[in-house]
């Protein structure tokens, strides 16, 4: 079942579906094995205007609603979750906060090259001692003339090995304890460097690195929002980003379900198809039902955002439900495939490895529960 989409949203969804089937599916396992940034896919997404989604046309973007963005992300993730992950960090976490909190000059300067994919975006809050507890960041920004001087380092950053523009969060000691401030940093600025690419369990085509800031001078003109308003920008950005992860979870889950149905209708044991066993049917039923519910939560939260509602609780619910469902579905998918699902030449193992990340980044499942509890109890 599809959430009600406008004609424009349906068109984008159809384009993404076609692209994913023809261009992403055939290369997904090669990209997984290569463990390199999926440049080819990124360039193709740029040609289709996906890197400019949810960026207004006056800044070079393709426009489109958040519902359109999640619909596209679901289709991409179904074929290649890494490609969807790259887009989530690029658009959802980097271009979107510039759209929402940037000055006119910042939008004109940074959005066109993100929208057309000439530059790659990233978002950096996480540090060694600040994961779930983002208020604990130690990176500092000290005003010096017409610049801020940034010092610190950020861990695990998606698109980190290749990014050109990063939305970075640092604390201004003079404003402690409410000094978190956001900056747009260009990675060719002196003092900026990257650690080696991390090796990860899954999501191999979306690469990650530590970003290091050693006396990086950022012009005052590149401060995103007011001094001390970084926490609000970070949380609102994560609300949007979480919708992307929820959509990604729905896409992975849908891929697993379709493969599992196909296999159950082909595989014979004890003289009959395994799909004739109620045990297998009920697994498929639970998978399909959870995907449907996850999809509705995700698209509903995106529609609320399009209507300018604050969606912290709804985005957290969508991400929590969809990512937990996705992991469970990936495990069940392997069970239905039996031993074949455990083999590295089956795509089922990739789905499982990619699925696990959806429960961790942009806030773990425990953090989503904290967000929802806060909304329920205040």
Residue 132, interface with ligand FAD (CB under 6 A)?
Answer: yes
Contact range with ligand FAD by CB under 6 A, out of 13-21, 154-162, 216-224, 287-295? 154-162
Instruction: Give the CA radius of gyration of the chain.
Output: 21
How far apart, in Å, do the first and last CA atoms of the chain sit?
35
Tokens of 361: 């980044």
Residue 213, interface with ligand FAD (CB under 6 A)?
Answer: no
Size of the site for ligand FAD (CB under 6 A): 22
CA separation (Å) from 215 to 136, 179, 211?
20, 18, 13
Catalytic, out of 240, 314, 362, 366 = 362
**CB 155 to ligand FAD: min, Å:** 7
Under rule CB under 6 A, which residues in 156-195 are in contact with ligand FAD? 156-158
Tokens of 35: 């463990």
**CB 364 to ligand FAD: min, Å:** 3
Residue 327, interface with ligand FAD (CB under 6 A)?
Answer: no
HSE-up (13 A, CA, CB side) for residue 13: 19
**CB 365 to ligand FAD: min, Å:** 7
Residue 355, interface with ligand FAD (CB under 6 A)?
Answer: no
- Which of 208, 237, 323, 346: binder of ligand FAD (CB under 6 A)? 208
Q: Say which residue the tokens 């404003």 belong to.
A: 175
- Which of 27, 273, 331, 360: binder of ligand FAD (CB under 6 A)? 360
Of 346 and 359, CB closest to ligand FAD: 359
Residue 123, interface with ligand FAD (CB under 6 A)?
Answer: yes
What does the buried/exposed string (b/e) look like for 220-231 if buried means 16 or more CB atoms within 10 Å of the residue's CB? Answer: eebbbbebbbbb
- Which of 8, 105, 214, 366: binder of ligand FAD (CB under 6 A)? 366
Residue 200, interface with ligand FAD (CB under 6 A)?
Answer: yes
**CB 183 to ligand FAD: min, Å:** 14
Which helix (H) or strand (E) segment is 59 a member of?
A: none
Of 109 and 362, CB closest to ligand FAD: 362
Find the residue with minimal CB distance to ligand FAD: 131
The alpha-helical segments, DSSP class H, found in the chain are: 7-19, 28-34, 39-47, 66-79, 81-87, 96-101, 104-115, 230-264, 278-306, 312-337, 339-342, 348-358, 365-377
Residues 253 and 246: their CA atoms lie apart, in Å, by 11
Of 160 and 341, CB closest to ligand FAD: 160
**CB 233 to ligand FAD: min, Å:** 13
Of 85 and 109, CB closest to ligand FAD: 85
Q: Say which residue the tokens 């031993």 belong to.
A: 339
Residue 357, interface with ligand FAD (CB under 6 A)?
Answer: yes
Whether 129 is a known active-site residue: answer no
**CB 361 to ligand FAD: min, Å:** 4
Tokens of 345: 């030449």
Tokens of 44: 């193709």
Residue 299, interface with ligand FAD (CB under 6 A)?
Answer: no
Residue 71's closest CA among 8, 2, 13, 6? 13
Max distance between CA atoms of the chain, in angstroms, equals: 79
Residue 109, interface with ligand FAD (CB under 6 A)?
Answer: no
Cβ pair 81, 252 in contact under 8 A = yes
- Binding residues for ligand FAD, rule: CB under 6 A, are 89, 122-126, 131-132, 156-158, 200, 203, 208, 357, 360-364, 366-367
List residues with catalytic annotation: 362
């Amino acid at each position: 079942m599809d959430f009600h989409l406008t004609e424009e949203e349906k068109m984008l969804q159809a384009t993404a579906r076609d692209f994913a089937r023809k261009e992403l599916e055939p290369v997904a396992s090669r990209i997984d094995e290569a463990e390199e940034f999926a440049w080819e896919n990124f360039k193709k997404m740029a040609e289709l205007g996906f890197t400019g989604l949810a960026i207004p046309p006056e800044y070079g973007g393709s426009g489109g609603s958040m519902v359109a963005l999640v619909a596209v992300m679901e289709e991409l993730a179904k074929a290649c979750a890494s490609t969807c992950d790259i887009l989530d960090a690029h658009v959802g976490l980097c271009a979107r906060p510039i759209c929402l909190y940037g000055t006119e000059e910042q939008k004109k300067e940074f959005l066109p090259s993100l929208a057309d994919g000439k530059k790659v975006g990233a978002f950096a809050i996480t540090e060694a001692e600040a994961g779930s507890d983002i208020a604990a960041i130690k990176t500092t920004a000290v005003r010096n003339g017409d610049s801020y001087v940034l010092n610190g380092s950020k861990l695990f950053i998606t698109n980190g090995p290749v990014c050109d523009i990063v939305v970075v969060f640092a604390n201004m000691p003079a404003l402690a304890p409410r000094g978190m401030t956001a900056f747009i940093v260009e990675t060719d600025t002196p003092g900026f460097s990257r650690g080696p690419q991390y090796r990860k369990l899954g999501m191999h085509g979306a690469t990650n690195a530590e970003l290091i800031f050693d006396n990086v001078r950022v012009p005052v003109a590149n401060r995103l929002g007011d001094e001390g308003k970084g926490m609000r920008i970070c949380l609102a950005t994560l609300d949007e980003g979480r919708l992307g992860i929820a959509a990604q979870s729905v896409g992975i889950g849908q891929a697993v379900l379709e493969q599992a149905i196909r296999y159950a209708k082909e595989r014979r044991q004890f003289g009959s198809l395994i799909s004739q066993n109620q045990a297998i049917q009920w697994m498929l039923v639970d998978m399909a039902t959870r995907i449907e519910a996850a999809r509705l939560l995700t698209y509903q939260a995106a529609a609320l955002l399009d209507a300018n509602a604050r969606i912290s609780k709804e985005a957290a619910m969508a991400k929590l439900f969809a990512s937990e469902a996705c992991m469970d579905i990936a495990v069940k998918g392997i069970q239905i495939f039996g031993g074949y699902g455990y083999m590295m030449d089956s795509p089922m193992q990739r789905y499982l490895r990619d699925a696990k990340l959806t429960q961790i980044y942009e806030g773990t499942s425990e953090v989503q529960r904290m967000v929802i509890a806060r909304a329920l109890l205040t």
